[in-house]
Amino acid sequence: MALMSRDDYIESLRGMNKRVFIMGQEVTNPVDHPLVRPSLNACAMTYELARQPEYAGLMLATSNLTGQTVNRFTHLHQSTADLVAKVKMQRLLGQMTGCCFQRCVGLDALNALDSVTYDMDQALGTRYHATFRHYLRQVQERDLVVDGAMTDAKGDRQLRPSQQADPDLFVHIVEKTSDGLVVRGAKLHQTGALNSHEIIVMPTQTLSEKERDYAVAFAVPADAPGIVMVYGRQPSDTRRLEDSQLDVGNPQFGGHEAVIILDDVFVPWERVFMAGEYAFSGLLVERFAGYHRQSYGGCKTGVGDVLIGAAQAVAQAQGTDKASHIKDKIVEMIHLNETMYACGIACSAEGQATASGTYLVNLLLANVCKLNVTRFPYEIARLAQDIAGGLLVTLPSEKDLAHPEVGPYLKKYLHSVDRYTTEERCRMLRLMENLTLGPGAAAYLTESMHGAGSPQAQRIMLARLADLEEKVRLARRLAGIEQ
């Protein structure tokens, strides 16, 4: 068993030579950068929990490739039980970190590629599946973090990839050699890119025959020559550069996104999983999206648990927790959170094996799950802000609370219920601010809306998968129109 510890993982990143830019400066050591480290801590939790016996059933799995114990984030789902365990693992990690822990996209990319490369080989006589599984064995044996990169820059949304004035607005093949491919383009919104060992690139949409060069999927080391990463800003992110933990809200953990630029990156054939097979681009997108929409039923409910707990704690500190309308709001938050979780479990329990043996979620229910996630966290956040009151956005800084002159006044006038200190109240308000307005809101809210596809993408899939004609047939039979 080659499972890395938390410290092993952090040290493994120090040994990489990534090109990273943060706020206009090239950073040679992103591991210890104050804007990056909270997200690294969150990703490291996937290693820490995997070493704790009480979480082994969720965090670990037996590889169908090697028979060895592996981190579940590198595992191919072999049953509906595996799919359910994935969602439960994600909820646990959301509870433990209160943020995005960044490994879900890579896990979903691995599982989608396994079944799609198998189907490609069967239909076209290619050998991508063996290539992919050889690569995955290395990922499992080395216990690596894989970042899945799907979203292209897209340019003018009215135009297809082949119609863009600049061909680089979608990642594409610029050269094929006997040794491999050269690719160019960029991927946006890449969760956890700076904390990853590997980048898996996939097409972002269904492609046509004249867009063969855009039908490309491959894996590269995150520090491969030609890869440049640019860190994305988040609301109130520079608070992490201040000498304050209270004002950050969630000082230990956080998430991050980045733009990944691929400037003529060479990819050897042993890391290529699609190179022009445009007819399978849509299938890869569909299966990846299904897995990732399932993921949101786990991770967002875990973070939701934290926000509900913070709202209840603030109500207790402010003496409002016994009010009937506050109780009703807390119950509504629980109802919405558990509904998302129920959808994540349902699409997992209804999963089925693909031809490669890897299990795929029920795509209809996975899309229902994600469509709920585009709405419910916003309502949970609204209710939390309602319970918190105006101090959520007017609270003075930690330095004011510690000031020798005004600090005592603030501790007096911001005090509420005797059993809770003013600092406890302030810390909980800052955590709520982080999750609903600050850096945490980027993952909990905006990512809930646009991650794994915006709401319209789920609506399109629901219309495609719902089998309306069968529903009409059922109605006609019961109405006595047809036997």
135, 198, 204, 299: which one is catalytic? 299
Question: Among the options 99, 104, 343, 347, which is catalytic?
Answer: 104
Contact 301, 344 (CB under 8 A): yes
56-94 burial: b if 16+ Cβ within 10 Å, else e = eebbbbebbbeeebbbbbbbbbbebebbbbbbbbbbbbb
User: 192 with 108: CB under 8 angstroms?
Assistant: no
Active site residue 191: yes
- H or E element, residue 184: strand 180-187
Q: Active-site residue among 74, 131, 191, 358?
A: 191
299 has catalytic annotation: yes
100 noted as active-site residue: yes
* Residue 296 falls in the annotated catalytic set: yes
State yes or no: is 128 an active-site residue. no
Assess whether 378 carries a catalytic annotation: no
Q: 128, 291, 296, 378: which one is catalytic?
A: 296
From the list 211, 398, 433, 447, the catalytic residue is 447
Please identify which of the residues 257, 277, 398, 433 carries the catalytic annotation: 257
How many CB atoms lie under 10 A from the CB of residue 453?
23
Output the CA angle 99-285-296, nearest 5 degrees.
25
Examine the residue annotation and report whether 469 is marked as an active-site residue of this protein. no
- Residue 3 is given by DSSP the state P
Number of H helices, E strands in the chain: 18, 14
Q: Is 420 a catalytic residue?
A: no
Reduced DSSP (H G I as helix, E B as strand, rest coil) percent helix, strand, coil of the chain, to 5: 55, 15, 30
Task: Give the H or E element holding residue 441.
Answer: helix 439-441
Residue type at 152? D
Task: Single out the catalytic residue among 292, 369, 374, 444.
Answer: 292
User: Catalytic residue positions?
Assistant: 100, 104, 191, 257, 292, 296, 299, 447
